[in-house]
Amino acid sequence: AKCEGRNTFKFYSPGMNATALERLTLETQLRLALAKNQFVLNYQPQIDLPSGRIVGVEALIRWNHPEFGPVPPDRFIPLLEETNLILPVGAWALRTGCRQLREWHRLGLYPLRLAVNISVRQYRLDHLVPLLDTIIGETQVDPSCLELEITESIMIENLEATLQIFEALHARRIRISIDDFGTGYSSLSYLQRLPIDALKIDRSFIQNIHTSASDMKITKAIISLAHSLGIKVIAEGIENAQHLGFLKDARCEEGQGYFIMKAMPAPSLTDRLLRRLPD
Ligand code: C2E
Ligand code: CA
Ligand code: CA
Ligand code: CA
């Protein structure tokens, strides 16, 4: 019956023409999920490429559906955004991630960094900044170990707000990385005007590094552009030894991907991190 359920239950996704009833059902389920603590954060390690050491983790949300198991975010984030439920869920993710980071620091895993994804709806000075102040106050986490991942398109579509938000974040020593870099078709001039700590090269470029000469050149160009502006580069979607080798040779600082480690629940990652502590 469970298998049947998987096929018949329709999760909303952008390309899907969900009927009003299906969406209503899903929206109700999402509200319940928040109330019943069905959301969890998994954490994907980010390593320093030259040394292989874990320097950070990216928090990635999952919905542990009681019947259907873990649901990936692409299936429900669009609806969270449409219904504004992303505001409480996004706040939950920031708070949960910061609590976990504080716990890791307490265990001696300092200065491990935590990256949290920020949605367009959360991207408002009067919402985000007070929320961060509250959470930092509550958890006593070191804000210089907190990194917000903001997609290039969100940043560009809200350029007016961006400078103010970035300055407020930097005043608190919170780090900023530009997610999905290279997919936004934007002018690059903002890079030198904004206080950006890291660029994350989108995994669509990494995927074809060895088959597409242009993706290889674009990746190299992004790295050298970032370096010339004093910005660090994080590659995502490292899926094999070739990807890893190429990026190391290209002097990309950090990376993450299935070849290194998948996202996992906090307890499993804690075990691994502590086992690695001696080196
Ligand atoms: P993203 O920020 O670009 O996150 C990277 C996605 O790539 C994650 O998918 C991750 O599991 C996946 N990934 C990691 N390594 C590899 C790899 O080697 N190969 C491939 N093919 N994929 C890899 P996930 O967890 O399904 O998240 C999808 C998107 O959902 C994220 O893309 C992000 O945009 C969004 N998201 C996830 N968690 C949150 C959250 O807490 N808040 C918000 N606003 N968005 C979130
Ligand atoms: Ca991200
Ligand atoms: Ca990304
Ligand atoms: Ca992406």
55-87: per-residue pLDDT in tens?
999 999 999 988 888 888 998 999 999 999 999
Q: What is the pLDDT of residue 130?
A: 98
pTM (2 decimals)?
A: 0.93
In 3D space, the residue among 254, 197, 250 whose CA is nearest the CA of residue 223 turns out to be: 250
Strand partners, 62: 40
Indicate which ligand has the atom closest to the C-alpha of 90. Answer: 1
Contacts made by residues 222-227, CB under 8 angstroms, sequence distance 24+: 222/181, 222/182, 223/250, 223/251, 223/252, 225/188, 225/191, 226/191, 226/199, 227/251
Q: Is 151 in the pocket of ligand 1 (CB under 6 A)?
A: no
Choose which residue among 30, 58, 60 to substitute to test ligand 1 binding: the one with the highest number of ligand atoms within 8 A of its C-beta.
60
Burial of 14 (0-12, 13-18, 19+ CB in 10 A): exposed
- Work out which ligand 1 atom sits closest to the CA atom of 42: 25
Q: How far is the CA of 6 from the centre of ligand 3 (A)?
A: 27
Q: For atom 25 of ligand 1, which residue has the closest CA?
A: 60
What ipTM, to 2 d.p.? Answer: 0.98
Amino acid at site 91: A
Average pLDDT over residues 195-204: 95
Say which residues have a Cβ less than 8 Å from residue 16's Cβ, sequence separation at least 6.
Answer: 10
- Whole-angstrom distance, CA of residue 119 vs CA of residue 87: 9
Q: How far is the CA of 103 from the centre of ligand 3 (A)?
A: 25
Asked if the peptide bond before residue 143 counts as cis, ω within 30 degrees of 0, the response is: no
Q: For atom 41 of ligand 1, which residue has the closest CA?
A: 61
236-275: per-residue pLDDT in tens?
999 999 999 999 999 999 999 999 999 999 999 999 999 8
* pLDDT reading at 94 higher than 70: yes
Say which residues have a Cβ less than 8 Å from residue 187's Cβ, sequence separation at least 6.
Answer: none
